[in-house]
A and B are shown apart, each in its own frame.
Chain A
Amino acid sequence: MDGNLNALTTVFTEFYYWVTVVFMFLIHVGFCMYEVGASRHRNHMHTLMKNIMIIPLVTVTFFFFGWWIYWAFPDFPFFGGLNHDMGNANLPWSENMGTNLSDRITGVFWAAFLLFSWTAASIVSGAVIERIRSSALWVHAVLIGSVFWIIDAAWGWHYAGWMVKYLGYHDAYASGVIHAIAGGYALGVIMVLGPRIGKFAADGTPRDIPPHNPWMLTIGIFLIYSGFWGFYAACNVPIISPEGIDGQITGITWTATNIYLAPTSLSAITFNFLMSLSGGLMAAYVVSKGDAFWTFSGGLAGIITASAGNDLYHPIQAMLVGAVGVVIVYKLHFWVERTFKLDDAVGAVAVHGYSGVVGLIISGFLLWGVPSSPYEGYAAINPVGQTVGAFIMFFVLGWLPAFIVAKMQAAAGVLRIPEEVELQGLDYAEHHAYEDAKAEIIAADKAALAGE
């Protein structure tokens, strides 16, 4: 870190990513609140614990192997071998993966990606509440958080990923690489897991299972919005010189870039974040006829739909893309629920998965011909590449492994909780102890009052 400019750039970048990580923590807080608010009283503590323990389990596994996958897999296995030069520098026993005064970036960059990993796992967690075994969900959390999403990031969210090079895949704020894959993964699990008891009437008509605490859901989703700001900032490289990019950009003007090192700005993505949020909220309000929770989720779905191209869209385009996406996603959710009798408890498959897929496809048309990278020889953004990319994210890396692993867990009898426990509630023992202790102390107080 020699020279004042170099030192300032490094420390700014270090601090920038650190701030994004703190903001992104709010996403997890929001997901926890949303899940607990959506679950019924008898399942609160287990629902909360199921999501909280995603944090340590994904963190340690992302340290052990997830981060290495990102750097070693950009071409692997279809277009080359493992990238050992990059991979070895990010192995868990590398000196970069620790307190190291000559590397001030790896820790914060690792953490920014890690918070995305928590999000991917947490999206799956919401869809399966009130009937999955925690042990089964935590295996899925490690798989989506530290294996499959980071493979897709190496392929399609890396400046040298094969999907970027050969498909022109463009997904600046992770419509596909986080949301489509997590939605697809959730779909794979719930297809095997089955619906909650009572979700469908005997004739197959779906029943609404209202949230236990609507206010908790509201605050939860607003916290997710807040954390999403940090997520957007974390997807950028905050400041870099053309020399640092070493691509085709000429001149000496420094810039922020997206993850592909192609230019954008924080200002641009702030416009587009807010406009796509607004488009999503407005469309969801109309299409759901003012249903509060679909309106709030629609705001999120609007951002997710526009995210693939939000580094470049005009704000009005971002708004309209968000709005169109929400209408498609809302209709699709209820059609899938009715047709296939699937119980997605928080609408995660729709809000994340379908939005991500729709957003990728739309961006292929709106950004047709735009360079996907500042480097020579990369395919330009195009509808076919984006559609193939969406399929890879949702089905190949999301749905397929989830379905296979869930099938294995179901065959071993370790996927779903017993029916008796589902009815009495996962927190029955805790409630039982609480109610008994409460009754005992009330009786004792009354006895003392009576002078016994």
Chain B
Amino acid sequence: MSTIGYDSWAVDLAEVGAVYPFQGSEVLMVILGVAFWIGWHRIQFVREGKHLEAAKHVGDEEKIHKLLEKY
């Protein structure tokens, strides 16, 4: 029993192809990967929107002047 389909390396390498675990579940892995990617954009998009909305009102004028002077 091996997750990559080989229990031993006593093989002719010319006959060996894919050796990653759980071969046959590639489509499922792609679905999980795409969900992770889209989910990331969604989380980041919402967070940035909230952050920028809140940031509009937090500026202390004196500190902003210092930052502008700092260039």
Contact = CB atoms under 8 A, between A and B. Distances in A.
Given A64-B33, A92-B33, A42 B52 contact: no
A431 interface: yes
Contacts, number: 101
B19 A135 contact: no
B6 to A, nearest CB: 10
Contacts of B16: 101-102
A162 B56 CA distance: 50
A93 B44 CA distance: 27
B32 to A, nearest CB: 11
Interface string A86-118: 000000111100111111000000000000000
B59 A428 contact: yes
A418 B56 contact: yes
Contacts of A248: none
A420 B56 contact: yes
A98 B18 contact: yes
Contacts of B34: 64
B13 interface: yes
B23 A95 contact: yes
Given A42-B70, A98-B20, A99-B20, A420 B59 contact: yes
A397 B67 CA distance: 40
Nearest to B66: A435
Contacts of A57: 37, 40
A414 interface: yes
Contacts of A2: 14
A212 interface: yes
B48 A135 contact: yes
B18 A100 contact: yes
B3 to A, nearest CB: 12
B48 A424 contact: no
A133 interface: yes
A428 B59 CA distance: 8
Contacts of A61: 37
A421 interface: yes
B45 A40 contact: no
Contacts of A135: 41, 44-45, 48-49
Nearest to B61: A424
B27 interface: yes
B44 A60 contact: no
Nearest to B55: A421
Given A418-B52, A424-B55, A432-B63, A100 B30 contact: no
Nearest to B29: A93
B55 A134 contact: no
Contacts of A101: 13, 16-19
B7 interface: no
Contacts of A431: 63, 67
Contacts of B67: 41-42, 424-425, 428, 431
Contacts of B23: 95
Nearest to A424: B59
B1 interface: no
Contact of A423 (B13, B52, B57, B64): B64
A396 interface: no
Interface string A407-444: 00000001001101101110011011001000000000
Given A60-B37, A64-B30, A101-B19, A428 B70 contact: no
A147 to B, nearest CB: 14
Nearest to A102: B17
A378 interface: no
Contact of B19 (A41, A93, A100, A414): A100
Contact of A64 (B37, B48, B63): B37
A99 B55 contact: no
A432 B17 CA distance: 55
A425 B66 CA distance: 11
Interface of A: 1-2, 40-42, 57, 60-61, 63-64, 92-95, 98-103, 133-135, 138-139, 212, 414, 417-418, 420-421, 423-425, 428-429, 431-432, 435
20 contacts: A1-B14, A2-B14, A42-B68, A57-B40, A61-B37, A64-B34, A92-B33, A98-B18, A98-B26, A100-B18, A101-B17, A102-B16, A133-B48, A133-B52, A414-B49, A418-B52, A418-B56, A421-B52, A421-B55, A424-B55
Give me the 5 closest cross-chain CB pairs, A-B, nearest first: A93-B26, A424-B59, A95-B18, A420-B56, A102-B17
Given A95-B18, A102-B16, 14 more contacts: A2-B14, A40-B71, A57-B37, A64-B37, A93-B26, A93-B29, A101-B19, A420-B59, A421-B55, A421-B56, A425-B64, A428-B59, A432-B60, A435-B63
